[in-house]
Each structure stands twice: as structure tokens, then as C-alpha cells.
Structure 1
């Protein structure tokens, strides 16, 4: 197991205390709520929210099972998720193209089954991915073929690839790592001068988070950090990034996907209503992707240089 402190998960026989904030270094915090039995605290210095202590290796291993991303192990769920991920990938690639990022060497951290990489490879990117899950790595390699390199492990295993990539993509990853400061510093080193970072993460300032408070669906045991636009921008600046643009998080999701999500994470009233809609609407409507607010934010940042 790699000992890089940004890994998921590092060696941790018990729960991992986080005495100092990775953003401001402060050691004072106030309790906020519980995320699946894990205390969420708020740094009094910078307002970054985090789990403290973090889950143990054993707890994370139970969470990150082979079908973690698929609402279960039935083929229909896997196909539903893959369609949503590829549609969302096209949306993200369109945003990147509008920002002038249209090709080059691309590394996706947390590449999962390779859906984003598959779409990026069709748009003039030379793609590589890395994921902790051997199950996901095998599926990504099969999907992409021998032309793409899929690395098994954590971002630290690529330490010798300094200044090797033009774009690093990390969708719904930074909230899962034990040391987001080290994670972003590692990404910064892997990028060539002028390279871009494209990051997606839940937004603690999002309306649903404000309304639901402790019942916010993103308060999960595997989410170790909770950013606002302000704290995320500050974390990126500290890692050496510049020209930071923050956008509201949007994804292309079908009614089938949204229904499965709220069956897995039930909301009183909403879940049965979605079940009913999925049952009565035509299949073409149920499976059609719609551009929806996703309760998160998108950050595009640049490594200084050329």
C-alpha cells in the first residue's frame, strides 16, 4: 500500500484524527453534525468543514465495494450510471472546449470504469486514468483498449511523472481524500506549465445544503471534506494554481438515474414521487438525459507557465 498522505485509503488501523485544518492550519473547530456516525466539524479559522476523526481503513473498505458507484449490482443500474457519466462527460468536455482546452495529455484521477476517458479519447485527448479500485481499473482498461494506460493505485504512484500532463480531471474525488492539500500539490506537480485542473465537488453553500442542514445527502462517511466556493478557491491558490474559475455544478442525468439515487438515499415524499414518474412515463423519457443542477461546483484552474 502506498504511503502518500493523499491516498484513499492510507494505512489506518483505527479512525484517523485530523487535529490541524489542511487549509489554514488552525486547530480550533466547532462540532456541526454527524455524517453516518462520523463527526463533522467546522474550522473556526477558515470555515472548512471536515470529518474528525476520519473513518478507518476497515470502514472505508466496507464502503468502497466493487459496486459502490452503481446503486447495486444489477446490470440495469450499471448501464444507467454509464449512460449518465458519458453524457455528463460530454457536457464537461464542452465546458473545457469553451475554455480553450481541446486536446493534449489528460489524466483522470478516480477514473472509475473509464466513461469520461472514453468520451475524451474521441475528442483528441491522449488519455490516462488512475483509480484505487482494481475492479474499476479492469473495466476501464477493457472499455478503452490498449491505447490507454490505466494505473492501479493512488495518485502518489505517479510521482515520477512530473510535468507529464496538460489536463488533470478529478470529478467527485477531492472530498474523499485524507489530505486535499497534498492531493492538489501532487496534481500541480504532474501538470505541465500552463496545464489545467478540472475539479468537481459538492458545494456546502448550495441551496439544498443550506435547507437540509444536517440531513444534507452529501454528509457521508466517505466524504472527509466539505468545501464552499471560497474555501475551494483558497485551497487551489495554496497549491499553486491561478486563473481559477468556479461554476455551478451541473450534470446530465436521466429520470432513471435520479430515481435510483433517491432510492439509495431516500427523501420523504420525493422518492415515492420519482418511483411513480419512472413507472408511468415512456421509457424514452425515463432514459433521456437532462441537464440538471447537481448540488456541487466545478472549478477550472491553471498551473502558471507558458
Structure 2
């Protein structure tokens, strides 16, 4: 079945089907799953649709605004202010996990690549904790972060990972909160696989749409949709399958807590009911109720951790 790249949506459609095709394999066995709005930054009032591929078992957004990133990532986006929020949220949950993976990799001089690194704060932490790390590479689209990263001793590629060219191979690749933001996850995973040493590891964190909060807020703009910035969403099995198809095998896996998805989803519901006010100038992360909700749901998630499928997944991958 012939494919056409629809520049308006970023999704594939077919000449003989009105259904958007799955961005993983171009499958046409897709169905509407949910509608959602930007409940965080209110970049537009547009309604976006998430569709589900029955074969690949992934969700994907339509329209997929891969060529309009400046519109959907506003200046108030949380990762643009890492000292205020981004560093704290990511560092607390991932520092120990990153260092554990790093400790399992042999070698006296290791190279580490962080995709979507910002100013390289995670690489700063890694270098300060491990004298074996001799080379660090950032890949990011943030021009403002480049000078900071270089000043801290990191190499920096300003652009997408798909465009990154190097003869160096890396012992550890970090892709934390990245794969759900890209138009072609399979291409990115193949690119990562080609950048690994034989004993290299990849650490990936990505949302899980097969979680309790995802089901409860499915038709209420679940925060894990991160509309319209999350393009493709996985569950454990669908991401494992894609990794294998890309030449990568799962070394370890775990679910981790994401109380922020709960709190932002609840705040979005309260806004729709007219109980609170949230706007582009005041995202839900800065609402005074957010800390209380996060703390409450963190306790709830902690109690569920041993037996539940939580809404964030962490994979350690290696070459097959």
C-alpha cells in the first residue's frame, strides 16, 4: 500500500485509507483512542487526537507537529529552566540508576552521550561521581545551552540525534524522556545502536500508557500525553519489541513513580470544572496545589510500586 507523507499532520496516510498510519511501521490497522488538549502550556486551543496501532500497540498523536517545535515548546517550558524544576525532578529519580548502569560497564576511560542533554547537568553529575568517564557528548536543540555545556567541558552537537555524525562510539547513551518526543522512534533507536560500543548500554525513560492514571484520565487529557509534545507512546511490550527490531535487547527494566502525571491531570480536571485557573503564563507546575498533590500521589505510587504498572518506564538496553 503506497504511503504519502502528510506534512500537515506529520503522520502517514495511505492513498486508499483515511486512517492515519502508525509511525512505527506504517500500519493502517489504527483506531481513534482519545482526544486531548494542551492542559499544561496552552500553546493553542486545538484538539489533538491520539490513535492506537493495533499491531504495534502504540499510541501516536495527530497532528504531529514535528516541524513546528517553536510553537509547541514555549519559553516557559520546564526544561528551559532546569535550576527551578527540570534538574530536581530528573536528578532525584535517575541519578542512582544512571550510576548503577555506569558501574556495570567495563573500561578505564568511558565515553557518555546524553541526548536531549540541555546544558549537560546530568553529565556534570556523572563526571563528578566517576573518574572513569573521560569524554562526554551533548546532543540537543537548545542553542542557549550550548555555551554552558562547552564551558563545562562537554562536546556539543546542536541538532537532532539523527543528524549527529561521529567516529566515536559510546559506552553509555542516555535518552531520558526523549523517545516519545521524536517523529520516528525506530530510526532514533537504530541510530543509537550504531553509536554503541560492543559492551555499551542505553538508559531510556519513557511514559507507559498502560497505567492506572493513563486509563482514568484517558478522555481527560492525561498529563502523560503531554499534548502536543509527546508524539508516540508505548507500553512495556511494545517498546521491548521496537528495541529488538532496532538491534537492542533489554538488559533490565523497571516501572518508576510519576506523581507529576497524577497532579497535572487532576489540576487539568479542576480547571475544566472552573475550580482553578491555569494559563500559559501560569502552568500547572507552578500552581500552589501542585506540591500538595504531588506529595499525596507520590505516597500513593510508592505503596503501589511492588505490584503495579506505573506510568513511567526505565529500560537498560544493550546491543543484541
Give the TM-score, by structure 1 length.
0.75
Give the whole-Å Cα distance in 1 for the aligned partners of 2:123 and 2:198. 22
Residue deviations 1:158-210, cap 9 Å, x none?
2333x610111100100010000000000000111121111000011122112
Match of 1:28 in 2: 29
Give the whole-Å Cα distance in 2 for the aligned partners of 1:108 and 1:138. 16
Give the whole-Å Cα distance in 2 for the aligned partners of 1:40 and 1:31. 6
Q: Counterpart of 2:252 in 1: which secondary structure?
A: strand
The answer to whether residue 126 in structure 2 is matched with residue 120 in structure 1 is: yes
Give the whole-Å Cα distance in 1 for the aligned partners of 2:191 and 2:120. 22
How far is the alpha carbon of 1:265 from its aligned partner? 5.8
- Unpaired segments ≥5 residues, structure 1: 1-10, 280-284, 286-290
Give the whole-Å Cα distance in 2 for the aligned partners of 1:12 and 1:66. 28
- Unpaired segments ≥5 residues, structure 2: 14-20, 38-46, 277-283, 296-300
Q: Counterpart of 1:298 in 2: which secondary structure?
A: strand
Which stretch shows the higher mean deviation, 227-236 or 118-127?
Answer: 118-127
The answer to whether residue 165 in structure 2 is matched with residue 159 in structure 1 is: yes
Match of 2:149 in 1: 140
Residue deviations 1:47-84, cap 9 Å, x none?
211113312523x21122344225x87xxx84343333
Match of 1:238 in 2: 245
- Shift of the 239–263 alpha-carbon distance from structure 1 to 2, 3 Å rule, reads closer
The answer to whether residue 112 in structure 2 is matched with residue 111 in structure 1 is: no
- Shift of the 61–303 alpha-carbon distance from structure 1 to 2, 3 Å rule, reads same
Q: Counterpart of 1:122 in 2: which secondary structure?
A: helix
Match of 2:53 in 1: 43
Quote the RMSD (CA, aligned, Å): 3.5
Does the CA-based 8 Å contact 2:210-2:311 persist in structure 1?
no
Does the CA-based 8 Å contact 1:164-1:191 persist in structure 2?
yes
Q: 1:225 aligns with which of 229, 232, 246?
A: 232
| Matched positions, count | 268
How far is the alpha carbon of 1:115 from its aligned partner? 1.9
Give the TM-score, by structure 2 length.
0.72
Moved over 6 A (4+): 269-272, 291-294
